[in-house]
Structure 1
Amino acid sequence: MQRLLHVIYPNQCLTCGEVTGSDAGLCPDCWRDTAFIAGLTCHLCGAPLPGEDDPETAPDLTCDDCLTIARPWSRGASALLYRGKGRRLVLALKGHDRADLAEAVAPWLARAAARVHEPGMLIAPVPLHWFRLFRRRYNQSALLARALARRLDAPLCPDLLIRARATPRQEGLGAAARFANMAEAIRPHPKRRHRMIGRKVLLVDDVMTSGATLAACAEACLSAGAADVRVVTLARTVKDT
């Protein structure tokens, strides 16, 4: 039956739609144009760093952004760079009604999360304001968190945090404006905060740019009694060099 389904509905590339020979994969051209993050990375945000040391034995290294911007979380990781095909995937998941992509990219997200995840950690997504959720019909970060929790066989709390007020879009804002935009915007869900007391929390989002949204979420978790907060994102924005 599965073979028949593949004949009727052949596997397609996640970004260009070209028929591929593997489930939830990329065609060779799109694979080459997707910048997966590997090797040495910043231990706080997952941005790639220069060097050829073994990432398993290298000391904790920090990128320039994380040296200048305080991070309320202790470790972070990301699966790919927010450029080229990676950017196209994120935008499709976020705004082009491609909720199916969350399951397709879950193996990449799980590979990145292996750097920061520990057994027993509570997984939670970055929340959307209810009005934006109503318009979009789904929270892409919640879909990613659910797919990741299944991959890691980890506990999930999709509404651990709430966005208490609608915030203007972050696109086009500088780092300072992004942090000001998110001030007091995230709160623990009053009926869920007990789940994070004394516990490590892994926050999941689609993309990290300045880190303002993740910082607001991490601070909300810590204020509610979380023992530690770590973050993982599908994509990381980095400066062109």
Structure 2
Amino acid sequence: MGVTFAPNRVGRLRAAAGALHRSLAHVAKLALDVALPTLCISCREPVDGEGVCAACWGKLSFIERPYCPKLGIPFVYDPGPELLSMEAIAAPPAYAKARAAVRYDEVARTLVHQLKYQDRTDLAPIMGRWMVRAGRELLADADLLVPVPLHWRRGFSRRYNQSGALARVIARASGVRMQGDALRRVRATEQQVGLSRPQRASNVQGAFQVSADRLHDVQGRRVVIVDDVLTTGATVDACARALLRAKAAEVRVLVFARVVDAPRAPI
């Protein structure tokens, strides 16, 4: 004869089993935290919780309003809406707007270099979340995320594209679809580091192209280019021109960090 249990007893057994499972999971997490303490994503010192220690947090310079509505360059004071920076007026880019989460300073440089060159893909989630916060306006009605591509040779040596890693985090957080193969780098280029502004522009001229089988994904779409750092803007501008040639409706740029030479005043 089989043994039967009253429904309320079954419920109590399930609740007890669930509580035991949660308790064991909590104990396991505590043991792991003791064995492997959480480290600051920048300096690797132990921290409570996840993210950045107090010392590194104090060195991060998040970009907040007021800033140039086109380039996202921070202003020293609020001039009112829609007043542009000198850079935006003197050399308007192909893209409509650019936003960055932080200034490219000591801590930001460390994070970018570790993500790009030291296989620290574990940094992408928190960096990407900061980018979502900074780019909320750009992402609100965007149709497509497109990471700046690497040339296949550089991609082979690095094993992954840091811009793609950031774009995947942003796609999950924002719900905007990512198309990682929409843009191709059709010509190998020199490293931009150490090049002047004109040299940077010449270096990436004609280096990007929309894949023929992705034209339908780009046409008529509001596209957000994702990259790690914006210095002179030459790379993302070349990407934007390629997307606009493929009939994108509008191109915007979202980066983790941007170089800010000095406090800017609007004109």
Superposition TM-score tier, normalisation by shorter sequence: over 0.9
Q: Say which of 28, 35, 42 aligns to 2:54.
A: 28
Residue in 1 aligned with 2:250?
A: 228
Deviations, residues 82-105 of structure 1 (Å, cap 9, x unaligned): 111111111111112212111121
Query: Could you list the runs of 5+ residues in structure 2 that have no partner in the other structure?
Result: 1-24
The alpha carbon displacement at 1:34 in A equals 1.0
The alpha carbon displacement at 1:44 in A equals 2.2
Q: Say which of 44, 54, 68 aligns to 1:42.
A: 68
Deviations, residues 11-42 of structure 1 (Å, cap 9, x unaligned): 2111011111122x110000011111112112
Contact 1:35/1:80 (<8 A) preserved? yes
TM-score, with length taken from structure 1: 0.93
Secondary structure of 2:72 counterpart: coil
The alpha carbon displacement at 1:136 in A equals 0.6
Residue 170 of structure 1 pairs with residue 192 of structure 2: yes
User: How far apart, CA to CA, are the structure 1 residues paired with 2:111 and 2:91?
Assistant: 27
Residue type of the alignment partner of 2:245:
S
Residue in 1 aligned with 2:96?
A: 74
Residue in 1 aligned with 2:46?
A: 19
Residue in 2 aligned with 1:192?
A: 214
Residue in 1 aligned with 2:77?
A: 51
Secondary structure of 1:192 counterpart: helix
Q: Say which of 200, 225, 228 aligns to 1:206.
A: 228
Q: CA RMSD in A?
A: 1.5
Contact 2:139/2:176 (<8 A) preserved? no
Deviations, residues 185-236 of structure 1 (Å, cap 9, x unaligned): 0000111121011110000000001111001110111110100001110000
Residue 158 of structure 1 pairs with residue 148 of structure 2: no
Residue in 2 aligned with 1:7?
A: 34
Residue-pair matches, total: 236
Residue type of the alignment partner of 1:39:
R
The alpha carbon displacement at 1:64 in A equals 2.7
Residue type of the alignment partner of 1:201:
V
The alpha carbon displacement at 1:52 in A equals 4.1
User: How far apart, CA to CA, are the structure 2 residues paired with 1:197 and 1:43?
Assistant: 25
Contact 1:93/1:102 (<8 A) preserved? yes
Residue 63 of structure 1 pairs with residue 85 of structure 2: yes
Residue type of the alignment partner of 2:47:
T
Contact 2:142/2:224 (<8 A) preserved? no
Percent identity of paired positions between Structure 1 and Structure 2: 39
Secondary structure of 2:157 counterpart: helix
Residue 139 of structure 1 pairs with residue 139 of structure 2: no
User: How far apart, CA to CA, are the structure 2 residues paired with 1:88 and 1:207?
Assistant: 12
User: How far apart, CA to CA, are the structure 2 residues paired with 1:21 and 1:172?
Assistant: 38
User: How far apart, CA to CA, are the structure 2 residues paired with 1:162 and 1:61?
Assistant: 35
User: How far apart, CA to CA, are the structure 1 residues paired with 2:156 and 2:83?
Assistant: 40
Residue in 1 aligned with 2:205?
A: 183
Secondary structure of 1:15 counterpart: coil
User: How far apart, CA to CA, are the structure 1 residues paired with 2:173 and 2:162?
Assistant: 17
Residue 124 of structure 1 pairs with residue 146 of structure 2: yes
User: How far apart, CA to CA, are the structure 2 residues paired with 1:6 and 1:68?
Assistant: 53
